[in-house]
Amino acid sequence: MTDPSCPVSTEKINENAARLVAFVVLLLSVIYILTGFIWIFVLLSFDFFIRGFTTLQISPLKQFVKVLASVIPIKNKPVDAAPKKFAAKLGFIMSLVITALYFAGFISVSIYISYGLVLFASLESLAAVCVGCYIYDYTQRLFPGLR
């Protein structure tokens, strides 16, 4: 596959901070897998919704990373925000599905889907691979003109 096409915007964010947020998502998802504490995914659904669908600056994970950045310096590496927003939308859908399946009694299935989120968050946080870009590219090939 060639390099994926990503959604583009004029808004920039710090890639290093975004990768740190992805690492927190990774850790929270692993905690859910180990404990079954579903309220983690209620929080993640809320957080992903804010980051993916709004311009509000009240994302709990973003706020946590800002506090962390005041203790541990994080180098600023500006990147296009659109791919990260698209990935947050996908994270919202996954988190919502995980939460719904849990409350519907399909706890094992919700855990299996959370493994996927662990994989995606691991790729983003540890290897700077944005799976959202690949999914976006694939959907554009299947449904040209869909934005």
Local confidence band at 1 (pLDDT 50, 70, 90 cut-offs)? very low
In a domain, 3, yes or no: no
**Domain contains 102:** yes
Does residue 125 form part of some domain? yes
pLDDT in tens, 26-79: 999 999 999 999 999 999 999 999 999 998 989 999 999 999 988 988 899 998
Domain of residue 29: give its range: 13-57+78-141
Assigned domain for 71 exists: no
Q: Tell me if 5 is assigned to some domain.
A: no
**How many structural domains compose the chain?**
1
Q: Mind giving me the DSSP string for the chain?
A: --PPP----S-EEEHHHHHHHHHHHHHHHHHHHHH--THHHHHHHHHHHHHHH---S--HHHHHHHHHHHHS-----EEESHHHHHHHHHHHHHHHHHHHHHHTT-HHHHHHHHHHHHHHHHHHHHH---HHHHHHHHHHHHSTT--
Lowest mean pLDDT segment, chosen from 13-27, 41-55, 70-84, 130-144: 130-144
Q: What is the pLDDT of residues 98-107, one digit of tens each?
A: 999 999 999 9
Domain assignment present for 70? no
Residue 139's pLDDT band (cuts 50, 70, 90): confident
Q: Is residue 91 part of a domain?
A: yes
Residue, of 4 and 118, whose pLDDT is higher = 118
Assigned domain for 64 exists: no
